[in-house]
């Protein structure tokens, strides 16, 4: 609903943050086996390693950690609406990633970052706010979407919709993946160096 009508987000923001605050201590226990598989496959397809990568709706930080491991020179920021999720993500961060990965409380619908601040932004089981997503990705950078249980994922956006929304905002070179129980897709923002 929020993808179709982003202005409704202000009604959902508080209750959703409260719901995820409550879920934070149990989140990792309810993750399904193989939940990162499609995400990893999509990341492996990216040829230009980002210098700065963003994980939107990071939860307990699994996506941010996967980004940092896949791109060992990248600085990674994980953002989540729920303070309790961010606390869990910080607590779980392995020591070896501490200098390169950080977590912030924030809203993906109004990000506290400059235009073109990241070469890659990832959404793992997360509601996309396309205007902000497109704004913070640098020309030539990538957007990565992953849904751990494909169409059965509660927050699922069909790839045709993702393509349509991103194409309108200057993205090209779409690719779709399927791995384990889930699906993923990537898109590249036009411009930048190859
Ligand atoms: C379904 S969980 C996914 C968490 C994690 N990416 C994973 O797959 O394990 C969605 C997460 O997005 C966060 N979230 C929802 N809307 C958000 C928004 N507008 N900005 C930032 N985080 C948001 C929630 O608090 C929650 O932690």
| Sheet of 118-124, strand order | 101-105, 75-80, 52-56, 118-124, 137-147, 182-189, 171-179
The token pair at 43 is 């990341």
pLDDT digits (tens, 9 = 90+) for 69-121: 999 999 999 999 999 999 999 999 999 999 999 999 999 999 999 999 999 99
Q: Looking at ligand 1, which atom is closest to the CA of residue 23?
A: 27
**Higher per-residue pLDDT: 13 or 7:** 13
108 lines ligand 1 (CB under 6 A): yes
pLDDT class of 180 with cuts at 50, 70, 90: very high
Residue 32 has pLDDT above 90, yes or no: no
9 Cα nearest atom in ligand 1: 19
Report the share of the chain in percent with pLDDT over 70: 99
Residue 20 CA to ligand 1 center (angstroms) comes to 8
Residue nearest ligand 1's atom 27 by CA: 59
Can you tell me the distance from the alpha carbon of 129 to that of 181, in angstroms, rounded to the nearest whole number? 24
Minimum CA distance residue for ligand 1 atom 14:
57
| Lookup: tokens for 165 | 């929304």
Confidence tier at 57 by pLDDT (50, 70, 90): very high
Say what the pLDDT of residue 8 is: 85
Q: Is the pLDDT of residue 3 over 80?
A: no
pLDDT-based confidence at 65, cuts 50/70/90?
A: very high
**What is the per-residue pLDDT for 192?**
82
What does DSSP say about strands 52-56 and 118-124: parallel, antiparallel, or unpaired?
parallel
Give the phi and the psi of residue 72 in degrees, each rounded to 5.
-70, -10
Integer-rounded Cα Rg, in Å, for the chain is 15
Q: Is 183 in the pocket of ligand 1 (CB under 6 A)?
A: no
Provide the β-strand partners of residue 13: none
d(CA 127, CA 114): 21
Give residue 194's pLDDT band: very low, low, confident or very high (50, 70, 90): low
């Amino acid at each position: 609903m929020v993808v179709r009508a982003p202005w409704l987000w202000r009604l959902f923001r508080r209750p959703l943050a409260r719901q995820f605050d409550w879920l934070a201590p149990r989140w990792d226990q309810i993750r399904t086996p193989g939940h990162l598989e499609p995400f990893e496959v999509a990341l492996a397809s990216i040829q230009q390693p980002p210098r700065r990568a963003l994980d939107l709706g990071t939860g307990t930080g699994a996506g941010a950690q996967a980004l940092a491991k896949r791109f060992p020179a990248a600085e990674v920021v994980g953002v989540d609406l729920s303070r309790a999720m961010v606390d869990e993500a910080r607590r779980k961060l392995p020591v070896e990633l501490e200098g390169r990965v950080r977590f912030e409380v924030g809203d993906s619908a109004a990000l506290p970052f400059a235009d073109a601040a990241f070469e890659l932004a990832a959404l793992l089981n997360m509601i996309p706010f396309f205007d902000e997503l497109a704004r913070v990705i640098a020309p030539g950078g990538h957007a990565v979407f992953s849904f751990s249980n494909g169409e059965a994922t509660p927050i699922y956006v069909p790839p045709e919709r993702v393509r349509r929304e991103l194409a309108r905002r200057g993205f090209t070179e779409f690719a779709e993946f399927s791995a384990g129980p889930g699906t993923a897709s990537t898109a590249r923002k036009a411009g930048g160096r190859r």
